[in-house]
Structure formats: C-alpha cells, structure tokens
C-alpha cells in the first residue's frame, strides 16, 4: 500500500522561528514531490514541486528537499510569520498526475 | 489567468439522491483530477481524465463516476448518496503528466453535506 506520512501532525511556534516539516513515503514509484498549503475551508495552494531530476526547490522563505533513496522530503520555512499558519500537505506523484497525499501538518505561528 | 473553478461551492443533499459537481480547469490544462477530502481519511484520489478519457481511478465504489468534455471541463457524479459521502470534493488541473512531474493546481472545492 502506498503511504505518505507527515511528522509532526501539529506544530506551534513563535513568530520568527525557523521550522522544518517532514514527509516520508514508502512507494518507490514516487518520482516527484509537491508541497501544498491549505487554509481552513479552502482548497490547496501549490507551494513547491520537486521534479524527479531535482533534489530541492526554493521559493522565497520556503525550501523543499527530496531524497528518493531514503523516501524523505522536508519543507523548511524560514522566519515564520503568523500568516504562515495553515495545514501543510506533501503529496507524492509518479508517472501520472495521481497524487498520494500525506496526513498533513497543522502549523500555528504565534505572534 | 483564471484558476480552477468549481461549482457549486456548497450543497446539501438527502441520502439516496444523486449529485453532480462541475470543474473548469485552467486554460490549456487538459488533465483534470478529482479528490475527496474527509477528516477521517484525508485526501484521496478519485479519478483523472485526459482528453475525455479516464486514465486513472482510485479505490472508490462505482457510485462515483466522472466525465470530461471536449473543452476539458469535467463533471463528477455521485449516485445513491450515503452519509459517508459528506466531504470536500476537490478538482485539480495540470498539463499532461510526465515522470518528471507537473505542478497541480486545485480549485476551492465543493462542500457536500448528505443528511
């Protein structure tokens, strides 16, 4: 069974702190990894896509890495802000557009 | 550039009824996927359509079906609704798949409540 696990399930940090969200997957058929953000009651916003030929991607204060050999990805958020509060989801993709989602990390950044 | 548009945003149905949800993908995107999100099961893949053909299907009963039109717009239908079908249904669009991966864009979703 394809599984994607995210740790921690919830995280509360003070504003300004750097933080790391973890994602692990067991399926060797996962070639690429996407990170999404979901605000309460909303759809998903794509943050970063790490394609199969890449090891990491950066966008602003976000940096995501992918290690397919160990089945792990991390999302690093620098200098967190209250506006970063949301649920963060990682999703593994293979040769099709089907995504296998993790269970998510609920992040709260305290002002 | 308009994003993925889903209609209706909210709806309430009675057990046994059927429902049709609609999705308009980003212009130029021919791949449309559907996902179900519930508190207990998280996000689960329903199916993917490309060029009016279902290319991939998740592990859902036959009551869940979909289709795609020539303009890439897609609909999904759930027949004989059950209480457990209450969920947020998300539509996603992207360019045709490749092993390297494509950014997948999601709509705001359709909230379905079955009573």
The closest of B104, B3, B8 to B50, measured between CA atoms, is B104
Mean pLDDT computed over A67-92: 95
Q: How confident is the model at residue B1 (pLDDT cuts 50, 70, 90)?
A: low
Mutating which of A37, A38, A43 best tests the B interface, going by the most B Cβ atoms within 10 A?
A43
Which residues of chain A neighbour B108 with C-beta distances below 8 Å?
Answer: 42-43
When pLDDT is cut at 50, 70 and 90, the band that residue A91 belongs to is very high
In this predicted structure, the answer to whether residue B99 has a pLDDT above a threshold of 60 is no
Establish if B51 touches chain A: CB-CB under 8 angstroms.
no
* B83 DSSP 8-state letter: G
Residue A5 has which token pair? 């696990």
Bond prior to A95 in cis (omega within 30° of 0)? no
Predicted local confidence at residue A108, as pLDDT: 97
> Can you give the pLDDT at residue B85?
97
What are the tens digits of pLDDT across the range B22-80? 999 999 899 999 999 999 899 999 999 999 999 889 999 999 999 999 999 999 999 99
Nearest of B8, B88, B1, B99 to residue B44 by alpha carbon: B88
State the smallest CA–CA distance between residue A77 and chain B in angstroms.
20
**pLDDT value, residue B12:** 98
Strands of chain B (E only): list them.
Answer: 5-7, 10-13, 19-24, 31-38, 42-50, 53-57, 64-68, 74-78, 87-94, 105-106, 110-114
DSSP per residue, A58-107: EETTEEEEEETTTTEEEEEE-S--GGG-EEEEEEEE-SSS-EEE---EEE
Q: Inspect the interface and report whether the beta carbons of A104 and B56 lie closer than 8 Å.
A: no
**pLDDT score at B111:** 97
Contact between residue B20 and residue B75 where contact means Cβ atoms under 8 Å apart = yes
**For B39-48, how does the pLDDT look when each residue is reduced to its tens digit (9 = 90+)?**
989 999 999 9
Calculate how close chain B gets to A13, using CA atoms only, in Å.
24
A94: nearest CA partner in chain B: B99
Say how far apart CA A87 and CA B69 lie, in whole Å.
33
pLDDT at A31: 80
- Work out the angle at residue B37's Cα, subtended by the Cα atoms of residues B35 and B40, and round it to the nearest 5 degrees: 140
pLDDT at B2: 76
A94 touches B: beta carbon within 8 Å: yes
Res B97: pLDDT = 65
> Which residues lie closer than 8 Å to A81 by C-beta, 6 or more apart?
A15, A109
Q: How many CA atoms lie within 13 A of B68 on its CB side?
A: 23
Q: For position B96, what pLDDT does the model report? A: 73
The upper half-sphere exposure of residue B73, i.e. CA atoms within 13 Å in the direction of its Cβ, equals 9
Render pLDDT for A19-49 as a digit per residue (tens, 0 to 9). Answer: 999 999 987 778 889 999 999 989 999 999 9
Nearest to B97 among A96, A100, A102 (CB): A96
């Amino acid at each position: 069974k394809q599984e994607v696990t995210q740790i921690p399930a919830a995280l509360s940090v003070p504003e300004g702190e750097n933080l790391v969200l973890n994602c692990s997957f067991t399926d060797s058929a996962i070639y690429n990894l996407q990170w999404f953000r979901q605000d309460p009651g909303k759809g998903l916003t794509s943050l970063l896509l790490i394609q199969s030929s890449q090891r990491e991607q950066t966008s602003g204060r976000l940096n995501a890495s992918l290690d397919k050999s160990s089945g792990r990805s991390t999302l690093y958020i620098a200098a967190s802000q209250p506006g970063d509060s949301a649920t963060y989801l990682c999703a593994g993709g293979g040769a099709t557009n089907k995504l296998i989602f993790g269970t998510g990390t609920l992040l709260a950044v305290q002002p | 550039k308009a994003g993925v548009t889903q209609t209706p945003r909210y709806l309430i149905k009675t057990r046994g009824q059927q429902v049709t949800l609609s999705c308009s993908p980003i212009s130029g995107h021919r791949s449309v996927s559907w996902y179900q999100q519930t508190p207990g099961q998280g996000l689960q893949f329903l199916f993917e359509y490309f060029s009016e053909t279902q290319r991939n299907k998740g592990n859902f009963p036959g009551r869940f079906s979909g289709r795609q039109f020539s303009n890439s717009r897609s609909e999904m239908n759930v027949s004989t609704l059950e209480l457990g079908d209450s969920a947020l249904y998300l539509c996603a669009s992207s360019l045709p798949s490749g092993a390297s991966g494509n950014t997948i864009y999601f709509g705001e979703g359709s909230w379905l409540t079955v009573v």
